[in-house]
Structure formats: structure tokens, C-alpha cells
Structure 1
């Protein structure tokens, strides 16, 4: 059920050298040279391994039944349907004898993370990466479904959202707004404004009928960049644990906010414009505002819960971001 927000303390831990050598031997991947936890691992589920035959990523201790099988299915589909660089072959090993749980192993892809070189990049570099990412998402979103919903992790059918995608999304936003009240002050004015936003977008979301595969967690930690033909571009895409079938604009939200928070608002706007070229402007703005609102409700609750309060009202905070992104 990967459209759900996952909170877990499960980690892969740090196995012994003997376990790593046994794992490599099972798959004919050489002898261990080194291994360590990855800096950018999904919920600390991943290890980076270097052997005499190459470099690999191991992902283990599944969060839910079928997590690894579901990710393999998605990666295999994307490898077959698109030209995107994804970690294939993605091998799932079900026997818990080596590590104590099922795991997957995949080749380590070429490239680095955006924030590893972010301070060294000039505006033109950021612009090239944003354009490349927009192109990658456009191609990925060509994978369509007949219904909005979640991919069943074991039988790989789409389980439609109850009632409608609009209701599922709007109810989710309201749920996390009320949850955030546990950690922060949210006024009646904030709530009226939020409901006003949902009302404004009601018709647009009610009429939507083009569910696409979305990654659900497009952020710097889940893709790699490299210089291809002298220009920075996306060189790899991974971690599909949060994927489902929905409005493709969902996949713009985290990177848009990343750029906005890095004082790269022009890049954020370029990224949005590159992806949405040729689409109705007003409709795009309404949809994107709702998806950003969804993410910002979650962020507001998280920041306050982690002792990082935002010293303004929720409405003002969100509207200021909308203004920066030319969505107000």
C-alpha cells in the first residue's frame, strides 16, 4: 500500500563481513572488498557494497509484505516501457537464512546526488538538471492506468481509491491538517482558508481522468546526476516504495519546494514550466497548489513536532510560498 505514509523503525542493520561474502557468493558477484550503510537510504534499508566484480546496493528488512517484489515489478516495467536509467537487474532473494530477512540486490548506478555538489553548481547547471528531471518525469508518466489507486504489492493489480481520487486526496490533506494540531497552533482562519483552497480545486479534480504512474517521492536523495555530453543531467532514478497511480503533478512538489528553500525560485519556476508546457495554465496552478498544500501540511506538522516552529500563521506561510512560485 505504497500511497500510504510509512513510519517505521525497521532498518537493515550492519551485517558481518562473513554474511556479505555469503550474499555475494549466492549471486556470483565476486568477493567482498568493502561495504557500508548508504548516506541516502530509504529508511536505512540499504547498504552499498564493493566487490571484485563491481558495486551493488542491497535493500533489506522489508517494511511491508511484498515491498521488494513490488519495487522489482515497477523497475522491470519502467525498464521495459521507457529509456529511463533504473537499477536493473533487480534481484529479490526471499530466503532469510543469510541476513534474517528477505532482501534485494541491484547494481549501483553511475552518478552523484544533487546536494553533494549543489554549492559548486552555477545557475546554468541547476537549470540543466531541472530540465533533465522534467523530461525524465514526462517519460515516466507515460505509464498509464485505467484507475487512480495503489499497486497491490503481490498481484500487481491496481486497487482503486475508495470513492474517488479527489476524495482520497482532499480527505488526506484534512486528516494531516488536524494531526498537525497536536504539535502546533492552527487557527479557525487557517482551517477556513484550507477548505477554501479545496473548494476552489473541487471541479478540476472531479473531472480528472488520466491516472499516471507516479514515483511519489521525487527528491535529491532518490536520483543521481552526472555530466552527460558536457552537461549535467539525470543519470539514475531509484526507490519506488512510495509509488502509485495519480495526478502526475504530485511528482513536482518535493523538488519545487527543494528549489524554493535553496533560494533557487527561478529554477523551481523553470522546472514547473518545463514540465507543464502546453497545459492549461489555470488548471495546472489549481492542481499544483493542492499538491503543494498536501506536502506543506505534512511539513508544517513535521517541523513543529521536531522543535522547528514556523513563526507565522499556516495560511501566511503557505501563501508566501505560493507567491514565490507565481501560483498566487
Structure 2
């Protein structure tokens, strides 16, 4: 697993039909009927295959050594430790003769991406999905570690964040704030406000001592939804390339911002409250502000680098989002 932000693309070219049939034959998965690149997919690494024996997803051309092996390890652990719907069996094939690189193959899971059906859902449907996702994350986060850090892809041991998780996280926010200056205007007032936010959360993060497995990239592109027993719910969870052991609230941030940008702040708050049941809301809000600050620093830099400038100050932009989310 890696907490590093991966920006490179390892796009794989569309193989020939003969290559696909050879790949399927190796694993006893029938003969190819159709195949194509997936619309979603981490780093353009994935292909969708329909064969005489079913539907499959192939992931290849790994970003870093051990990527596919560690993803198999994570999926196998989650399948053993939880009731979550993950893509098993997850088969890794190291021989590069067929495609020119190692690959994994897994069954295609049932369901649709939330962003593809969001416009069709009622508020009740959105609420059901948010509550289902909160339940899925609570169960996933029951996988604990003795230390905050990354799982070594080959040794399966935890490499701790240095000098501490708090310092690693705060330094990362500061790093991406300064990186964003390359693409946008960030003032001394913005920086003072950011450091004030970090200072306010210093004690909360210093006292934390409950590292949990986090997916690290929980967003509509990495899970599926479907109607299960007449109600919308999460039907599949996949892509664990950015997983590590940390504060579990980090897994809420991208979905909170998805709902906020879909003008569904009520659903965002339902999601937070459902996940936080039985926990101290004041502490939850303090930690969420920092994780959201981290994501919004990244988003600010991305939007400006892509020619989509935000026409207000960074401080005002983030504060406005916090207000919409009722994060005091």
C-alpha cells in the first residue's frame, strides 16, 4: 500500500483478441466475446472482458513493484476479516509473455458507479447509499494495526510514518500548500489561517493511538451501488492502491466533498453522523476539518493547474465549505 499521491499514468494498450483468448485460457475462464478499456480505472490500467464464462476485470502494468501482490493481500484480508463485497478471487499472474507485463484478473462486480446514477436518485435513495457506505467503512476500519504507516508491498510489514503520524500529515498539508503556489495566488493571510487550523488540531492528533486500515481513495469511481432487497446500497468495493493505516476519518473526505459539490450537504451530514454514531462529535469535527483541509489544498492546486481558477481567497473558499457542512 502507498500513501504517496500517484499522478503517473500506466495506460495499457488494447490487446488483440488472440492475446485475450490466451489470457483467459491460462485461467480457465472461457473464450472472449468482447473486451475494452474501462471508463473508470486507476491510472488507465484496467480492461473489461466478457467471456463465455462470465465478466472479468484485468489490471496490468503495475505502477510500482508489488502493487498487484499487495492489492491481492489486502483483498484477501478483507474477504477473511469482513463481510464486505470485494473482488475475489483476485488472481495475480507474473508471467509477462502474454501482455508484456504482469497483471491481475478478478470477477467484474455487480452494480453501477454512483456518479452515473446520482441524477436519477431521490433524496431517500441518496440517504440509503450514504448510510450503506458509512456502514461499509465502519466495518472496514475494524482492521487495526499497532502503528500508523504503510504496508510494505512485499514484506507485508508496517513502515511507520516518521517522525509521527501527526507530523507526517501536517507536513504533507504544508507541502501541498506550497506546491499550489506554483499554480495560484496564496497569500500570507491564507498561510496564517492554515497554520491556525493545524495548531487547533495539534492536541487531538497528538493523542490519537488507534491506527485503522484506510482505503485512502473512497470516491464514486472505486465502489458500486445497486438496489439490494429493494433499497440502494453498496454492492462492491475495489482499488486499494492508496491504502494505509491511519485515522479512519480520512476515508470520509472525498465523499463529503462529492455530496457538497452535488449540492447535497444534507446527505454529507447524514453520512458523517451515521459513521460517527457513538463517537464524540466535537473531536470528529476537529479531525475532519484537517482531513478536508488536506484534500482541499490538493483540489485548489489541481483546479488552478487545470485552468479552473477559484475566484476567492483560499481561506474564504475552505471556510465556506466548512460552513455548508456545519463543521464548526
Does the alignment reach a TM-score above 0.5? yes
Q: Which runs of 5+ in 2 are unaligned?
A: none
The answer to whether the aligner puts 1:32 opposite 2:23 as a matched pair is no
- The CA deviation at 1:9 is 2.6
Question: Under a length normalisation based on structure 1, what TM-score does the superposition of the two structures give?
Answer: 0.99
Distance 2:12 2:128 in 1: 35
The answer to whether the aligner puts 1:287 opposite 2:287 as a matched pair is yes
Partner of 1:61: 61
Partner of 1:88: 88
SS across alignment from 2:184: coil
Partner of 2:147: 147
SS across alignment from 1:104: strand
Partner of 1:238: 238
Cα deviations by residue, 1:181-217 (Å, 9 ceiling, x for unpaired): 0000000000000000000000000000000000000
- The CA deviation at 1:277 is 1.4
**Contact 1:37 1:47 survives alignment (8 Å):** yes
Distance 1:227 1:179 in 2: 42
User: Number of aligned pairs?
Assistant: 328
SS across alignment from 2:49: strand
Q: Which runs of 5+ in 1 are unaligned?
A: none
SS across alignment from 2:145: coil
Distance 1:9 1:272 in 2: 32
- The CA deviation at 1:272 is 0.3
Distance 2:71 2:199 in 1: 35
Distance 1:281 1:134 in 2: 15
User: Which aligned runs of 4 or more in structure 1 are off by greater than 6 angstroms?
Assistant: none
Distance 2:44 2:169 in 1: 28
SS across alignment from 2:236: strand
Partner of 1:314: 314
Q: How does 1:209-224 map to 2 (within 5 A)?
A: 209-224=209-224
* Superposition RMSD in Å: 0.6
- The CA deviation at 1:278 is 1.5
Cα deviations by residue, 1:229-288 (Å, 9 ceiling, x for unpaired): 100000000000000000000000000000000000000000000001121121111100
Partner of 1:78: 78
